[in-house]
Amino acid sequence: MPFYIDADQPSVTSLSDMRIFMEAPELKSIHCDECPIRHRAVCAKCESDELEQLDRIKYYRTFEAGQPIVWAGDRMSFVGSVVSGYATLTQTMEDGRTQMVGLLLPSDFVGRPGRDSAAYNISATTDVVMCCFRKKPFEDMMSDTPHIAQRLLEMTLDELDAAREWMLVLGRKTAREKIASLFAIIARRESVLANTGLGVKNVARAASFDLKFTREAMADYLGLTIETVSRQISALKKDGVISLQGKRHVIVPDMYRLIDEAGDDSDGGLLV
Amino acid sequence: MPFYIDADQPSVTSLSDMRIFMEAPELKSIHCDECPIRHRAVCAKCESDELEQLDRIKYYRTFEAGQPIVWAGDRMSFVGSVVSGYATLTQTMEDGRTQMVGLLLPSDFVGRPGRDSAAYNISATTDVVMCCFRKKPFEDMMSDTPHIAQRLLEMTLDELDAAREWMLVLGRKTAREKIASLFAIIARRESVLANTGLGVKNVARAASFDLKFTREAMADYLGLTIETVSRQISALKKDGVISLQGKRHVIVPDMYRLIDEAGDDSDGGLLV
DNA sequence: CGCTTCATTGACGACGTTCAAGACATGTGG
DNA sequence: CCACATGTCTTGAACGTCGTCAATGAAGCG
């Protein structure tokens, strides 16, 4: 079974849909060599023969924005990588309080080898394309070829670092700092340099990005209510830290100002 | 250099000191075979020849309660395992707000292979004994023998899960629930079954443990102030959820009640 | 004994939540 | 085309939890 595409594949209508197919063109026939996440995903360290092996056991799946990918407690028959789009890991209490505990971007890994039920809810924030491997063959490959396990260790350590930074945000930052931190993280990861006519010298200070999250998703990320999220965004806008185009496109005239508002000690690394 | 003990080794005065030396007797001459964390630490999967190799490059260090082990940003020349005692990972903002982001118990691993400066402050909560490996030889071993990397991956995935559970606590729980959650976690990990005369049937419901943390450490763990910690502990005591002997010994007459107060969906696993 | 550190308790206020109303955009059907 | 419903977001007012500031208590140590 070389690949698989859900029957209900979304039609290409919105900008973000377009983007998915630009990032992973010709999805049905793509070979690992051509894969946009080839050098950052679990397969990053694989030699070409190992890549061939992966190529044989992989298949693609797509998920529509807003749809669940797996529910906590469900059996997971696959592990895999996000090829394009955003997904989230969330945890929920009986009374409905929910906390986002992970953010999955292209190249991030889904699933835990050696465990067969999901620990968290995973759902697609935007339309998502995933590169999946059935668990058993993947685990077999892991024990045979150290490259996959090595890369997975690196990635897991990075995620652990991210989770710990996030814990500081959740535990010790004010609502305003939380919003600024979230925007700084997003901007750092996928900012498009804004050509706002500020001149060459200042280009690196400015950034802009599309918010992939609803207010509710941001609230769940930051441990706030949607009202507080909304208020703090308004406040940052009023103070000139950000400006908005519509409700989902954020313009940051000065990243240093934003980072300062985030109260971050990680002082910079602007364009890393 | 088969081993090394700091000159300023603490004298055995307090109960927790005694405990360390009971858990790791004859520290100076201990061989991996005899090590109390042999089957849970990063060496858990090693064969006896690999163990010999580790034995040759390891050395012990002790740290007194309250002392720093490393500071964020410092060069780390070693990685290693906690053999006995508690240590904490903390992150601090410029203005002094600090958040604990990791809790290191016996068998937990310290340091990140492939990185040479510490990302967090590590400090000893109780007296701590560590089994250290100089980084370079350890990394060499990691690439030669898959058993170490495999085990490290498992451990890192476990830590990531713990961090994510913690994020729910930080982001969504009330102060009272936070305290109850902390006590439930500690009790689950090291409770002594209390013989409180409740009869055989109820023994499993009761537990008691020594609090290794100051109020400040608990506050940093939970994203609270020490005053709130103190008030909530008093409240739980007043409501009969816990009782105290002195300020640092906690008795839980009914673990189910405590878990209920923690608002936890992870409904049980009492004696895991 | 006083000194220091750690913990408890109270009074007060700020920050964020809750509850509620209204704005705005999108889609549906008459 | 408008009326109406729906979902997302914004804004206001009242409330409550938790943080701040301060005083006091308890325990360990020179």
Per-residue pLDDT tens digits for A37-86: 999 999 999 999 999 999 999 999 999 888 899 999 999 989 999 999 99
Task: Name chain B contacts of A111, Cβ cutoff 8 Å.
Answer: none
Instruction: Give the per-residue pLDDT at B247.
Output: 86
What are the two backbone dihedrals, phi and then psi, of residue A151, each rounded to the nearest 5 degrees? -65, -40
Asked if residue B214 lies in contact with residue B165, where contact means CB atoms within 8 angstroms, the answer is no
Which chain A residue is nearest to residue B114, measuring alpha carbons?
Answer: A154
3-state secondary structure of B122: strand
A205 CB-to-strand C distance under 7 Å: no
Instruction: Give the per-residue pLDDT at A117.
Output: 93
Helices (H), B1-134: 15-23, 48-57
Tell me the residues of chain B between 195 and 224 that have a Cβ less than 8 Å away from chain A: 222-223
Vertex A54: Cα angle to A51 and A55 (nearest 5): 85
Asked if residue A207 lies in contact with residue A225, where contact means CB atoms within 8 angstroms, the answer is no
Query: Which amino acid belongs to residue A43?
Result: C
CA–CA gap between residue B23 and residue A28 (Å, rounded): 58
Among candidate residues B164, B3, B113, B27, the one with its CA nearest the CA of residue A118: B164
Instruction: Give the per-residue pLDDT at B118.
Output: 94
Per-residue pLDDT tens digits for A94-122: 999 999 999 999 999 999 998 989 999 99
Instruction: Give the per-residue pLDDT at A205.
Output: 81
Average pLDDT, chain B: 85
Give the largest CA-CA distance in chain A.
57
Instruction: Give the per-residue pLDDT at B253.
Output: 93
Q: Which helix (H) or strand (E) holds B99?
A: strand B98-104
Q: What is the per-residue DSSP string for A126-165?
A: S-EEEEEEEHHHHHHHHHH-HHHHHHHHHHHHHHHHHHHH
A215 CB-to-strand C distance under 7 Å: no
Per-residue pLDDT tens digits for B13-72: 333 444 444 444 445 568 999 999 999 999 999 999 999 999 999 999 999 999 999 999
Mean pLDDT, residues B124-132 taken together: 94
Q: Which stretches in chain A have pLDDT values below 70?
A: 1-29, 191-204, 265-272
Least confident of B14-28, B114-128, B195-209, B210-224: B14-28
Distance A201 CA to C25 C1' (A): 39
Query: Which amino acid belongs to residue B251?
Result: I
B175-190 vs B146-172: helix crossing angle, rounded to 10: 150
Q: What is the per-residue DSSP string for chain A?
A: ------TTPPPS-SHHHHHHHHHSTTGGG--GGG-TTTTTSGGGG--HHHHHHHHHHEEEEEE-TT-EEE-TTSB--EEEEEEES-EEEEEE-TTS-EEEEEEE-TT-EES-TT--B-SSEEEESS-EEEEEEEHHHHHHHHHH-HHHHHHHHHHHHHHHHHHHHHHHHHHH--HHHHHHHHHHHHHHHHPBPP--SS-GGGGGG-EEEE--S-HHHHHHHHT--HHHHHHHHHHHHHTTS-EEETTTEEEES-HHHHHHHTT-SS---TT-
Instruction: Give the per-residue pLDDT at B8.
Output: 34
Tell me the residues of chain B between 84 and 123 that have a Cβ less than 8 Å away from chain A: 89, 91-95, 97-99, 101-102, 112, 114, 119-120
Vertex B131: Cα angle to B125 and B137 (nearest 5): 135
Residues with Cβ within 8 Å of A242's Cβ and at least 6 positions away in sequence, in order, are A183, A233, A236, A250, A251, A252, A253, A258
Among candidate residues B61, B60, B63, B38, the one with its CA nearest the CA of residue B51: B38
pLDDT band at B200 (very low <50, low <70, confident <90, very high): low
pLDDT of B201 strictly over 70: no
Asked if residue A107 lies in contact with residue A81, where contact means CB atoms within 8 angstroms, the answer is yes
Nearest-neighbour CA in chain B from A226: distance (Å): 14
Per-residue pLDDT tens digits for B133-184: 999 999 999 998 889 999 999 999 999 999 999 999 999 999 999 999 999 9
Distance A4 CA to C29 C1' (A): 39
Domains of chain A (ranges, CATH numbers): 15-166 (2.60.120.10), 174-271 (1.10.10.10)
Tokens standing for residue A148: 């996959």
pLDDT of B193 strictly over 50: yes
Task: Name chain A contacts of B171, Cβ cutoff 8 Å.
Answer: 99, 170, 222-223
Task: Name chain A contacts of B228, Cβ cutoff 8 Å.
Answer: none
Instruction: Give the per-residue pLDDT at A248.
Output: 86
Instruction: Give the per-residue pLDDT at B191.
Output: 67
Instruction: Give the per-residue pLDDT at B16.
Output: 40
Average pLDDT, chain A: 85
Instruction: Give the per-residue pLDDT at B196.
Output: 54
Buried b (16+ CB within 10 A) or exposed e, A158-170: ebbbebbbbbbbb
Buried b (16+ CB within 10 A) or exposed e, B13-33: eeebbebbeeebeebeebebe
CA–CA gap between residue A129 and residue A112 (Å, rounded): 19
Tokens standing for residue B219: 């506050």
Taking the alpha carbons at both ends of chain B, their separation in whole angstroms is 39
